[in-house]
Structure 1
Amino acid sequence: MNHPRMLLWLFLAMLSLAACDSNDDEDTELIGNWTKSSQFEGLARSGAICFTIGDKAYVGLGTDGTDEFKDFWEYDPSLNTWRQRADFPGVARYQAAGFAVNGKGYIGTGYDGVNRLNDFWEFDPSTNTWTRKADFAGSARYGAVGLEIAGKGYLGTGHDGNTKKDFWQYDPTTDQWTQKASFGGDKRLGALAFTINGTGYILAGSDNALVKTDIWAYDPTTERWTERRKLELNDSDDEGDDYDYSAVPRMNGVAFVVNSLAYVTGGSNSGNLSSCWQYDPTSDTWTEKSAFEGATRTLAVGFGLGDRGYVGTGTSGSTRLDDFWMLAPNDDNQ
Structure 2
Amino acid sequence: MSPKRNEEYAMEIAFNGAWRPSADPLSVGAGNFSVLQNTRYAQDGSLEGVSGYSPINPKPLVDPDYDYVTALAICGTSAQSDCDEYDPVLESWAARTDVPSPGRYGNMGAGVENLAFTIGGMDGSGLITEALDAVTDVWESRCDMPEPLRSYGAAFAYDGSIYVAGGYDYTSGNLQDCNRYDPLTDSWSSMTDMPSPARRYIAACLLGYKGYVFGGYDSSDPLDDCDVYNPLTDVWSSGASMNLARCGVYAFGLDDAAYLAGGGEGILFGANYRDCHSYDPETDSYAVKEDIPSPARISGGAQTVAGQGLIYAGGAILGLRDVETYDADADAWASQDDMPSPGRVYLGSASVQYS
TM-score between the two structures when normalised by the length of structure 2 = 0.70
Matching residue of 2:264 = 268
Asked if structure 1 preserves the Cα contact closer than 8 Å seen for 2:289 and 2:331, the reply is no
Shift of 1:54: 3.8
Change beyond 3 A, Cα 1:68–1:172: same
Q: Which consecutive residues of structure 1, in runs of 5 or more, have no partner in the other structure?
A: 1-52, 232-244
Where does 1:255-294 land on structure 2 (aligned, <5 Å)?
A: 255-269=251-265, 270-294=270-294
Asked if structure 2 preserves the Cα contact closer than 8 Å seen for 1:157 and 1:165, the reply is yes
- Aligned to 1:140, the other structure's residue is in SS state coil
Shift of 1:304: 1.3
Where does 1:1-334 land on structure 2 (aligned, <5 Å)?
A: 54-63=68-77, 67-112=78-123, 115=124, 117-161=126-170, 162-231=173-242, 245=243, 247=244, 249-269=245-265, 270-316=270-316, 318-331=317-330
Asked if structure 1 preserves the Cα contact closer than 8 Å seen for 2:201 and 2:247, the reply is yes
- Aligned to 1:210, the other structure's residue is in SS state coil
TM-score between the two structures when normalised by the length of structure 1 = 0.75
Asked if structure 2 preserves the Cα contact closer than 8 Å seen for 1:122 and 1:133, the reply is yes
Asked if structure 2 preserves the Cα contact closer than 8 Å seen for 1:258 and 1:305, the reply is no
For residues 198 and 235 of structure 2, the distance between their equivalents in structure 1, rounded to whole angstroms, comes to 17
Report Cα offsets for 1:91-146 as digits up to 9, x if no partner.
1001101211133111110012xx35211101111111110000011311210111
> Identity across aligned pairs (percent)?
25
The residue type paired with residue 156 of structure 2 is L
Matching residue of 1:43 = none
Shift of 1:259: 2.1
For residues 318 and 212 of structure 2, the distance between their equivalents in structure 1, rounded to whole angstroms, comes to 30
For residues 333 and 303 of structure 1, the distance between their equivalents in structure 2, rounded to whole angstroms, comes to 16
Q: Which consecutive residues of structure 2, in runs of 5 or more, have no partner in the other structure?
A: 1-66, 334-355
Shift of 1:221: 1.6
Structure scoring higher RCO (CA < 8 A, sep ≥ 6) equals: 1
The residue type paired with residue 105 of structure 1 is A
**RMSD (Å) for aligned C-alpha atoms:** 1.7
Asked if structure 1 preserves the Cα contact closer than 8 Å seen for 2:109 and 2:118, the reply is yes
- Aligned to 1:206, the other structure's residue is in SS state coil
Asked if structure 2 preserves the Cα contact closer than 8 Å seen for 1:312 and 1:325, the reply is yes
For residues 100 and 219 of structure 2, the distance between their equivalents in structure 1, rounded to whole angstroms, comes to 35
For residues 134 and 140 of structure 1, the distance between their equivalents in structure 2, rounded to whole angstroms, comes to 14
For residues 187 and 276 of structure 1, the distance between their equivalents in structure 2, rounded to whole angstroms, comes to 24
Runs of 4+ in 1 over 3 A off after TM superposition: none
Asked if structure 1 preserves the Cα contact closer than 8 Å seen for 2:81 and 2:100, the reply is yes
The residue type paired with residue 187 of structure 2 is Q
For residues 225 and 303 of structure 1, the distance between their equivalents in structure 2, rounded to whole angstroms, comes to 23
Asked if structure 1 preserves the Cα contact closer than 8 Å seen for 2:74 and 2:118, the reply is no
Report Cα offsets for 1:276-317 as digits up to 9, x if no partner.
01111122121110001101111221111122112221125x
For residues 285 and 82 of structure 1, the distance between their equivalents in structure 2, rounded to whole angstroms, comes to 35
Asked if structure 2 preserves the Cα contact closer than 8 Å seen for 1:278 and 1:286, the reply is yes
Shift of 1:268: 0.4
For residues 333 and 158 of structure 1, the distance between their equivalents in structure 2, rounded to whole angstroms, comes to 32
For residues 80 and 274 of structure 1, the distance between their equivalents in structure 2, rounded to whole angstroms, comes to 23
What is the aligned length? 261
Matching residue of 2:60 = none
